[in-house]
Amino acid sequence: MKPYEIVKDIFIVGGPDITDGRDACVYLINLGELILIDTGAGWSVDSIIGNIKKLGLDPKNLAKILVTHCHIDHIGGVPEIKRRFGSIIYIHELDASPLENGDPVLTAAKWYQTSFPPTPVDVKFSLPEEILTIGQQKLICLHTPGHTPGSICIYLDRNGKRILFAQDLHGPILPEFGSNLDDWDRSTQKLLDLDADILCEGHFGIYKTKQEVRDYILSYREQYGMD
Ligand SMILES: [Zn+2]
Ligand SMILES: [Zn+2]
């Protein structure tokens, strides 16, 4: 599959069907400056950058990387992209130390038979909701613990649509990741309440109607015994 524009100014530039089977989906928002949401598992940085160029965008404008949580399939490309473009790295404070310590278990690097070098982050979120304003556009970063303690989801309202980036909302819920099912219950309820039009998800792709987004979230709530 090729990278493409999902809706105006929002692109998928990496993921299991686009760059590498080990990558979680990598999304890009073009607001004049470029904002990357997650970075893949680390083996595909060149392909991700190539895809950004193919879409007619300049990777030199990669100003920010929003990291949804501390797992290797999402963070692997962070050190290299930071090194090449000086992008500012944002993550929730509760998921920051696995990156900063290169923790093989909490980053799940061990699972992927690789390692993650200790990598300092620039900005640590700590509030239930943090708002980044870029030009006229607000990006809302919601703390949605469950899969990991510091998982975040990001949403924006643009051109009449609410677009939600919710990477590993499906789980898994595992003690070694610090997962918490009660937190997950509250977080997924919050995501339902957003009533998003489009869901850009981490491993299973993109859902493009309110109903599909709702059904997707509800299917996992049912699986985990909620409602
Ligand atoms: Zn994960
Ligand atoms: Zn993942």
> How much distance in Å is there from the Cα of 24 to the middle of ligand 2?
5
> How much distance in Å is there from the Cα of 138 to the middle of ligand 2?
25
- Read off the pTM: 0.97
Output the pLDDT for position 227: 73
In this structure, which ligand is nearest to the CA of 201? Answer: 2
The mean predicted confidence, pLDDT, of the chain is 97
Mean pLDDT computed over 7-12: 98
pLDDT tens for each residue of 85-138: 999 999 999 999 999 999 999 999 999 999 999 999 999 999 999 999 999 999
When pLDDT is cut at 50, 70 and 90, the band that residue 213 belongs to is very high
In this structure, which ligand is nearest to the CA of 171? Answer: 1
> How much distance in Å is there from the Cα of 166 to the middle of ligand 1?
11
Mean pLDDT computed over 44-69: 98
When pLDDT is cut at 50, 70 and 90, the band that residue 55 belongs to is very high
**Distances, alpha carbon 110 to alpha carbons 15, 22, 73, 124, 136, in Å:** 20, 13, 12, 24, 41
